[in-house]
Amino acid sequence: MNERFDPAQADTRWQAAWDEAQCFKADDSSAKPRSYVLEMFPYPSGRIHIGHVRNYTMGDVLARYKRMKGFEVLHPMGWDAFGMPAENAAMEKGVHPGGWTRENITNMKAQLKRLGFALDWSRELATCEPEYYGQEQSLFLDLYEAGLVYRKESAVNWDPVDQTVLANEQVIDGRGWRSGALVEKRKLSQWFLKITDFAEELLEGLSTLDKWPEKVRTMQENWIGKSQGLQFAFTLSNGETLEVYSTRPDTIFGASFVAVAADHPIAQGVAAGSQEVQDFIALCKQGGTTAAELETAEKLGFDTGITAKHPFTGADLPVYIANFVLMDYGTGAVMAVPGHDQRDFEFATKYDLPILRVVAANAEDADKPFAGEAEAGDGICVNSDFLNGMSVAEAKAAIIARAESGGWGEGKTVWRLRDWGVSRQRYWGTPIPFIHCEVCGVVPVPKKQLPVTLPEDVDFATPGNPLARHATWKHVDCPQCGKPARRETDTLDTFVDSSWYFLRFASQPDDKPFDPAQIREWLPVEQYIGGIEHAILHLLYARFWTRALARIGKIEVKEPFGSLFTQGMVTHEVYSREEDGRPVYFGPSEIERTADGATLKEDGQPVTVGKVIKMSKSKKNVVDPDEIVATYGADAIRWFMLSDSPPERDLPWSEAGIEGCARFVQRLWRLFGQHDAAAEGEDKAVDRKAHQTVAAVAEDVESLGFNKAVARIYELTGVIEKAAPSASRSAAIRTLLLLVSPMMPHLAEEAYATFGEGLVANAAWPEVDPALLVEDEVTIAVQVKGKLRDTLTVAKGTAREELEALALASEKVQRALDGAEVRKVIVVPDRLVNLVA
RNA sequence: GCGGGCGUGGCGGAAUGGUAGACGCCGGGGACUUAAAAUCCCCUGAGCUUUGCUCGUGCGGGUUCGAGUCCCGCCGCCCGCACCA
């Protein structure tokens, strides 16, 4: 063997060998148990970044490990290839989105290959290819037939920069999630998916996802936002009625005013005759929507002069227009109970409205004053006529029953979740397969005419939708009546593309989206790995799409991802200098890092070492995976991605760290070179350590505790290095090689080749001898009054009495006792002895 | 404001209620070398009167023979959500 491992030549050689042997091709007809390991597929931006490397390395280690454990593993890769950046590139550089995207895919695929991932490239897919999006159109038509797709005129979130419609989820603090531009409201005819039909199911389903992070489940639960309450109508003094919704109908006797949103019809009606009201409404709409602004925003109201009659007391409650009431939730109007709702409390305080107590800890507290804030908690009803004495829950049920029997209201469940608007006025997306005919209306494209492909000749010189202004593309004959008609020019939200790609990976026939039999074999995905930023959007849509396909009988599985893991970001220090009052940033490659600071290589002068934050181009604190691979090899960067930080937390990148990893690669190489099949002799300690490590690393990998697995591998390496040559030592070297092979596959292959046993990629995970997991000697802690004073090395299973005697015999213990009488002795066998004096 | 998470050496982090700081990085010392690189060995929480002792897991209490771990109350940081009736 060579003295040094040379990744530059070994990496590509083994990557070619795996391709040649088709090692990672998943066999659909395999008799082995299945394991589907999936990482979120990337957008083909052109270059992979270090976050991809971390994500895919984790998945790769798990996939390779599962293969070694005897599973038929599906570990595929593809491209989330539609979307805005390709059109931006077209506008900026004059390149075609298709050409730009496909070139990026070629580059990024080469980059992924250089990292040696065990992927089944035969199943590679790109959502921008007609083979994929044509099948998506077919599924879309199926959902349409099932009544889960519809069109409606709706006010949409219009992004003036991207010139497109955004879903609610894509609007963050009133700004487009991609462009950051302030979103406007516009009325457009839009395509929708009936995700609200699945609200209950999607909520219920969360409870079955016990291998998902609690945090993600909570976020989805909040997003779906189920609430139960009473909807009822007030009769107004002007003769109209006003529907309100309340989740606290038990507090109805505490209502002291009614509030409507600024854009509620009542408000609009009052505004028609009053400039003052119009000004107030304008003021309400002006308010910011960021968290900080909302928190400090003052409650503002305008008395309309109208009153509402209380259904029980008959009191006339003033109707206010209030800035804290939202038009798009519930009915856009609320009954305000200041005593038991903080917003109402603040409002009532400001406008000097009555604050009544209708819930108290007990009946004696019925007239207890409020301590400057509303009491939203549980208790019993007071000052509430027939509800008095009931708990909040009882009173809710009672009032709803009363309203329903009286016919003036009904119990109602309100959801925060809205239907999913999927229309995008863009070119680079899946064409929505419909035709608009003046005679027949909206007509689906017949399935045999699919795919509806995108035209190639498009211009991006002006903003707006290139499909809509294309000279010929949209002109077609109506499939029903044959008269001239017009194609739908909207394309689908790219989140639709990523809502079923995991099904297409499992099965990709030419003539249909997938084969249900294969879906049954592979799904659900055993382990899904990706970024937390997809906690709501992608993951909720994929769950919905899967359930929708299940409902119409296309598949059986209801939850696509059995276990979900969200990995942390890769971070790095920021280097900067102040120049002309603003910071100038430098990349890590321009910097010389010293013990207590950093200097710029170019001039040798110091730079400021800033915080460790997420890598971003604007701060220049990025490293290029390709450069790292070229310098240190694929195995070193893979090892770094797994080391030190727990995978769910952020991983701070450092140049010293990657060098340490590269050193360890060489250290292992030297150790592997010491493998000697002819060595003789047993070394029980080495045997034991090796077997314990196999068991522990298996456990760590299965729970994705890669940092712990790495630490154990270091330990075993240290033990073997120090051991004298023996058959045990050689066996341990071989074991170590197998353990690191999922993590450092190139190094492992290069060394394994000298054993003449074929590819380590096809090797089995080492068997564990349970007898060797148990130590026969243990170290016992001896404490005096809970403080460690000595340790004893004894045979495992030494009797309590003997341990106590040995402990008392210790000189150190006697000194610590200092003649005091031992009053109590606690013995935990094989663990410790505690002498209490 | 609500929900969730986290606070352990210079740094990343280990620790079924049972020897705190595994493992790695940084740093220091030494060996090898003409020299360097590479490699190997040793040290590396703080303090002290250094065969050893004391303190030490954000702060203050508590439970326990024994608490980083459990309970109560604070402080700080991070993430998510948010005038959702």
Strand B bases near protein CB (under 7 Å) are 1, 3-5, 11-16, 18-20, 22-28, 38-41, 52-54, 65-67, 79-85
Closest by alpha carbon to A720, among A747, A685, A752, A692? A685
Residues A423 and A434 sit within 8 Å (Cβ to Cβ): no
pLDDT band of A297, cuts 50, 70, 90: low
In this prediction, residue A77 carries a pLDDT of 97
d(CA A711, CA A706): 9
Omega of the bond leading into A451 within 30 degrees of 0 (cis): yes
Of chain A, the percentage scoring pLDDT greater than 90 comes to 52
Closest by alpha carbon to A653, among A559, A739, A589, A748? A589
Residue A295 has pLDDT above 50, yes or no: no
Secondary structure (DSSP) of A239-260: S-EEEEEES-GGGGGG--EEEE
Per-residue pLDDT, averaged over A581-596, amounts to 80
The nucleotide whose C1' lies nearest the CA of A346 is B83
pTM (two decimals): 0.91
Residues A261 and A280 sit within 8 Å (Cβ to Cβ): no
Burial of A642 by CB count in 10 Å (0-12 exposed, 13-18 middle, 19+ buried)? buried
In this prediction, residue A598 carries a pLDDT of 79
Per-residue pLDDT, averaged over A432-445, amounts to 95
pLDDT band of A749, cuts 50, 70, 90: very high
In this prediction, residue A291 carries a pLDDT of 37
In this prediction, residue A290 carries a pLDDT of 40
Task: Name the residue closest to the C1' of B2 by its CA.
Answer: A222
Average confidence score pLDDT of chain A: 89
pLDDT band of A573, cuts 50, 70, 90: confident
pLDDT band of A777, cuts 50, 70, 90: confident
User: What ipTM describes this predicted complex?
Assistant: 0.94
Q: Determine which of A12-21, A260-269, A461-470, A488-497 has the lowest per-residue pLDDT on average.
A: A461-470
Instruction: Dump pLDDT digits (tens) for A71-121.
Output: 999 999 999 999 988 988 888 888 999 999 999 999 999 999 999 999 999
pLDDT band of A293, cuts 50, 70, 90: very low
Q: Determine which of A121-135, A204-218, A625-639 has the lowest per-residue pLDDT on average.
A: A204-218
Report strand pairing: A241-246 vs A171-172.
Answer: unpaired
Rounded CA–C1' distance between A299 and B75, in angstroms: 31
Residue A527 has pLDDT above 90, yes or no: yes
Instruction: Dump pLDDT digits (tens) for A504-513.
Output: 999 999 999 9
Q: Determine which of A443-452, A467-476, A763-772, A805-814 has the lowest per-residue pLDDT on average.
A: A805-814
In this prediction, residue A210 carries a pLDDT of 86
pLDDT band of A751, cuts 50, 70, 90: very high
d(CA A659, CA A664): 9
Rounded CA–C1' distance between A499 and B78, in angstroms: 30
pLDDT band of A688, cuts 50, 70, 90: very high
Q: Determine which of A289-293, A769-773, A830-834 has the lowest per-residue pLDDT on average.
A: A289-293
Rounded CA–C1' distance between A592 and B29, in angstroms: 25
The nucleotide whose C1' lies nearest the CA of A337 is B85
The nucleotide whose C1' lies nearest the CA of A230 is B85
d(CA A321, CA A340): 20
The nucleotide whose C1' lies nearest the CA of A324 is B83
pLDDT band of A294, cuts 50, 70, 90: very low
Other beta carbons within 10 Å of A315: 13
d(CA A648, CA A565): 8
Instruction: Dump pLDDT digits (tens) for A655-676.
Output: 889 999 999 999 999 999 999 9
d(CA A234, CA A331): 12
Instruction: Dump pLDDT digits (tens) for A215-252.
Output: 888 889 888 988 888 999 999 998 889 999 998 999 99
Rounded CA–C1' distance between A684 and B39, in angstroms: 28
Closest by alpha carbon to A464, among A443, A490, A500, A435? A490
Element (DSSP H or E) covering residue A379: none
Residue A289 has pLDDT above 60, yes or no: no
In this prediction, residue A603 carries a pLDDT of 81
d(CA A259, CA A320): 5
d(CA A92, CA A118): 36
The nucleotide whose C1' lies nearest the CA of A654 is B25
Rounded CA–C1' distance between A819 and B82, in angstroms: 65
In this prediction, residue A190 carries a pLDDT of 87
Q: Residue A328 in 3-state DSSP? A: coil
